[in-house]
Each structure stands twice: as structure tokens, then as C-alpha cells.
Amino acid sequence: MITRIVKLTIDPDKTAAFKSAFVDNKEHIRAFPGCTHLEILRDAKCANLFFTYSKWETEEAIENYRKSDLFKGIWKNVKPMFCAKPEAWSLLS
């Protein structure tokens, strides 16, 4: 099992749009083969700092998702909302 944490710093003026994009896509991501859990967390002190927390069966499942049309469509939509480069960690459970 792989736990994936991605840190996303969003333009403060675009946080509502980012949260909406997550809500619109979360069930599709959760249904992606190999994904067993997905949630988004917001920093307690920095309102435009978010973390996605997901669990995947394998590293291959993560890579399949990252190469999918689903990911490409989501990424195209949310990438302009970032005000810093995303950071990601893959952790073994």
C-alpha cells in the first residue's frame, strides 16, 4: 500500500474554484483502479495551502492514474490555480 501526499499552494483568489474542482472530481479519482482512499486537507493556518491524501494499491496504480485522461483533464484545469510548484511524497504503509 502506498500513501501519497501532495502539497498544493493555491492562488488565494482561486481557492474556491480549486475546492469546487476537487468536489467535482473526487468520486472519479476514488473510482480509479488501485485508489483505495482520497481526501483533501486544508492547512489550519494558511487558507490557500492544501494537501491531497490518497492511498493506492501499488506505485503502478499511481502512475497509471497520472498517465490517464482523467488526471490530464484535472491537471489542465487546476494547474493555473497554483502559486507554487506542487510537492509530492509517496510513503509505504
Domain layout of the chain by residue ranges: 2-92
Average pLDDT of the chain?
Answer: 97
Grid cell of 67 as nine digits? 498517465
Percent of the chain at pLDDT exceeding 70? 100
This prediction has a pTM of 0.93
Give the 3-state secondary structure of residue 77: helix
Alpha-carbon distance 62 to 55, whole Å? 9
DSSP label of 2? E
CA 92 to chain centre: 18
For residues 37-52, average pLDDT: 97
Q: What's the CATH class of domain 2-92?
A: alpha beta
